[in-house]
Structure 1
Amino acid sequence: MTIQKPEDFPYPSQFGEVLGSRMHYVEHGSGDPILFLHGQPTWSYLWRNVLSELEDKGRLIAVDLIGYGMSDKPDIPYDIDDHIRYLDGFIKALGLDRITIVSHDWGSFFGFHYAHRHPERIKGLAFMEAMLTPIPGYEAFDPQTRQFFQTLRASQANAERMMMDENQFVEGILPAMICRQLEPHEMDAYRAPWTDRESRRILCKFPQNLCIGKEPAAIYRKQTAYMDWLQQTDLPKLLVHADPGLLIPAPAVDWYRERLPNLETAFAGKGLHYIQEDQPKAIGQAIAQWIERNGL
């Protein structure tokens, strides 16, 4: 499926061949790579107004996870290990080294997991609304979010109805987790990769695999392993947070500040989960200043 790149995303599209499929990315600038990783249900378009604040800071690369955005949708299960293999392959295909990873949502899971396995290739980690400590249980959610995940994870039929038939993640959760109202062309950009029912089957996977109460166990093991590593490594880290946030509210910022060595924090302003849509300039400027301070 080919989608038209939005006019407000002017960076030239490129494609890398990975495991027999094409992964889409945009690239701008030169120097050491700064790799931007998105989550569910977004794509590299999420970073469009953050990238503009990082001119001259490095080789800016925003990639679409396999199956997302303008990347191919091969016939694979889209399990977490699939995403890990394709992202590993993408980084290898582009020969990336001395990487600063900027991540959000599931992109942070993959970014942290990669950095944990390849610390020698990493210069720094910047993240926001990130998957750090596993969610202890459904009681950690507000009632509406708790009902959403419990219903979706109760059966595959529920997941397919919610994600494929009703397109709830794109039409409901995404706009609800942004403080401002997206413009029609912005909503269209987020809808574009998911225009037919079958394409949306991929969207079932991430909410089914979010680690809640130590399940799924394989995700819990990966997440606790990289979280343990993050509490030991002196790699420069930047946590950008918003008010009230969702995954990282104010009390969590203080908790991480106490436990993650060489962590700086930056407050971006008002925002929920997709804070790049509410505070892109503040996010980009915070990352740019952190890069300068740390000589990254």
Structure 2
Amino acid sequence: MGVHPRTERPLPELEGVRHHFVETDGVRLHVAEAGSGEPLVLLHGFPQHWYAWHRVLPLLSGDFRLICLDLPGFGWSDVPAEGCSTDDRVRLVLGALDRLGLERVGLVGHDWGAWTGFALALRAPERFGAFLALNMVHPWPTQRALLGTAWRFWYTALLEYPLIGRQVIRRRPGLLGYLLRRGLGDGPGWPQEELAEYAAAGSEPGAAYAGEKLHWGFVAGDIPRLALGRFRRQRLAVRTLVLAGDRDPVIRPALLAGADRYADDLRTEVLAGSGHFLPHERPREVADAARQLFLEAAGEGGPAAR
């Protein structure tokens, strides 16, 4: 599989984090690890990278081995020429788990990382003891909810079209900063250096290409599946908790209804005053929810590396 050059930008520094790479299907994925114990894999959203979890990691590193993957094309991972669709991300993440020798893990995902997480849990439920999804709709939203909130995704039209989306992302880093600022609720704002980091990282040529491909892959692959009801033929067997913010401008609480009949154990909690970036806005609540969910699952034979 061909790849574009990955970034040479310096890594943000965070005490206790160790960095390495795993290669799967010809793609090198960057891994930032912290802590020890039962393994949890954390998948970031757009336009961020592993550092999106930096407020959460210190709160969980005493209990878990935290494995933050840079999704293909983002952060310090390779940029596959073809490999940024949901199916591609699932294949590469599962390959990374194999290379890391992890048979079964806990899974945390935010934004597009959470959409990837749902796809992973449906594809290989035996690999995941439990799943914490942050700020993302599940695969079974009601038609009424979709129609009522579709306009909130207006900005994706700027990002998704082939050859155009990458140019918008590359040449308009201010758009990424706007989306990050727009997504916040009543919690703390972005420190200027962190906002600059994500805007700069997300607008690099490889990441801009991957951002376009990620959004277009959803349009070309996942939306038809939603429209044709193909997800309704699948059942979520992995214990799942969805955390959302009532101030999220994109993933509104109405989108989170409708999954009960398609999941064995799916709960939803909406945090008041919170927006789209819970790992930044409410790291304590995210960490507490993760600890309770995954320690319970581990006690039942859940996310242990066997």
TM-score, with structure 1 as normaliser: 0.82
* 1:35-184 paired onto structure 2 within 5 Å: 35-76=41-82, 78-133=84-139, 139-141=147-149, 143=151, 145-150=152-157, 152-153=159-160, 155-156=161-162, 158-167=164-173, 169-179=175-185, 180-184=188-192
CA deviations on 1:14-44 (whole Å, 9 max, x unpaired) are: 2112233321111123333211111211111
State the aligned residue count.
288
Return closer, same or farther for 1:191/1:204 CA change in 2, 3 Å cut-off.
same
Cα 1:168/1:220, change in 2 over 3 Å: farther
Q: What is the DSSP-based 3-state SS (H/G/I as helix, E as strand, rest coil) of the residue aligned with 1:156?
A: coil
Name the counterpart of 2:10: 4
Cα pair distance change 1:160/1:37, threshold 3 Å: closer
Assess if the C-alpha contact under 8 Å between 1:29 and 1:58 holds in 2: yes
Shift of 1:65: 0.7
* Offset at residue 163 of structure 1 (A): 1.7
The offset of 1:177, in angstroms, is 0.9
Indicate if the aligned counterparts of 1:108 and 1:127 stay in contact, CA closer than 8 A: yes
Change (3 A) 1:190 1:256: same
Match of 1:279 in 2: 282
- 1:242 and 1:268 in contact (8 A); partners too: yes
Distance 2:29 2:269 in 1: 31
State the distance in 2 between where 1:277 and 1:218 align.
27
Deviation at 1:63, TM superposition (A): 0.6
CA contact (8 A) 2:75 2:207 kept: no
Shift of 1:259: 5.9
Deviates more, 1:66-75 or 1:216-225: 216-225
Moved segments of 4+, more than 6 Å: none
- Secondary structure of 1:34's counterpart equals strand
**Identity over aligned pairs, percent:** 24
Is there any run of 5+ residues in structure 2 with no aligned partner, and where?
Answer: 1-6
Aligned-partner residue type, residue 195 of structure 2: M
Structure showing greater relative contact order (alpha-carbon pairs closer than 8 Å, 6 or more residues apart):
2
Q: 1:239 to 1:196 in 2, by over 3 A?
A: closer
Tell me, yes or no, if the aligned pair for 1:106 and 1:131 is still in contact at 8 Å: no
Name the CA shift for 1:6/1:126 in 2 (closer, same or farther; >3 Å). Answer: same
Structure 1 spans left out of the alignment, 5+ residues? none
- Name the structure 1 match of 2:3: none
Q: TM-score, normalised by structure 2?
A: 0.80
* Cα drift, residue 219 of structure 1: 5.4
Post-superposition offset of 1:293: 3.8
Corresponding residue for residue 253 of structure 2: 250
Partner of 1:238: 241
Q: Out of 196, 199, 220, which is 1:188 matched to?
A: 196
2:116 & 2:288 partners in 1: Cα distance? 24
CA-to-aligned-CA distance 1:106-134 (integer Å, 9 cap, x gap): 21222222222222222111111124136
CA distance, structure 2, for counterparts of residue 198 and residue 259 of structure 1: 37
Contact 2:140 2:231 in 1 (8 A): no
Provide closer, same or farther for how the CA distance between residues 263 and 166 of structure 1 changes in structure 2, counting only shifts above 3 A.
same
Change beyond 3 A, Cα 1:151–1:114: closer
Deviation at 1:10, TM superposition (A): 4.8
